[in-house]
Amino acid sequence: MQEDFQLVPAVDVLGDRAFRRERGDFEAATREAGDPVEPVRRFAAGGPPLLHVVVLDAARHGGAPVELARRLAEAAAPVPLQLGGGVRSPEDALALAAAGVARVIVGTAVFEQGPAPYVEALGDRLVAAVDVRDGVVRTHGWERSGGLGVVEAVRLCRGAGVARLLCTPLDRDGTLGRPDLE
């Protein structure tokens, strides 16, 4: 099996500010970076292949951040924006895509509803978020167990035709440590 890895700049958004979150812990989101448009614009100027944004409040409580997505997609252009947080229905996912998001990240809903409706709605624009702590998938802003181990989650997604997976080991997230390639 061929393994493809891509490193991309990431911005976490909490409230209306960009933050650096560490290890999936909302209390550790203490390094504020201001208006999220600014770091997105700054990263895009470097010409990465993609920019990654997670809207933390939305990931925790739901509610696709469509207007924020539109602003960030405009700031990132021409660099494609990958954005997640709050997607709880295929309609949410399509609204983010219509706002200019090139790849829509779906985590909680993929594991609660199954990936098929999201694959049908988004095709290869879907990124299934497999956020993992202690070998178990986490949902609802990393606060609940998704009830699946990482291998089961990957098999579920791949079996449903998910083309892209984003696997985040939460114990390393935001630490600027080396990727957990295992």
Q: Give every CB contact of residue 87 below 8 A, 6+ residues apart in sequence.
A: 64, 93, 96, 104, 105, 106, 107, 108, 109
| Helix H or strand E segment including 12 | strand 10-14
- Distance in angstroms (rounded) separating the CA atoms of residues 149 and 137: 6
Q: Assess whether 57 carries a catalytic annotation.
A: no
Question: Is the distance from CB of 104 to CB of 69 less than 8 angstroms?
Answer: no
Over residues 99-128, the mean pLDDT reads: 94
For the question of residue 173 being annotated catalytic, the response is no
What pLDDT shows up at residue 174?
A: 58
Confidence tier at 1 by pLDDT (50, 70, 90): very low
Of 8, 14, 86, which is closest to residue 52 (Cα–Cα)? 8
Catalytic residue among 4, 25, 92, 131: 131
Euclidean distance between CA atoms 114 and 103, whole angstroms = 18
Per-residue model confidence as pLDDT tens digits over 21-64: 655 555 655 666 789 999 999 999 999 999 999 898 888 888 88
Name the active-site residue from 12, 57, 171, 180.
Answer: 12
HEC string of 65-81?
CHHHHHHHHHHHCCCCE
**Average pLDDT score over the chain:** 84
pLDDT-wise least confident of 86-90, 112-116, 137-141: 137-141
Residue 162 · residue 15 · CB < 8 Å? no
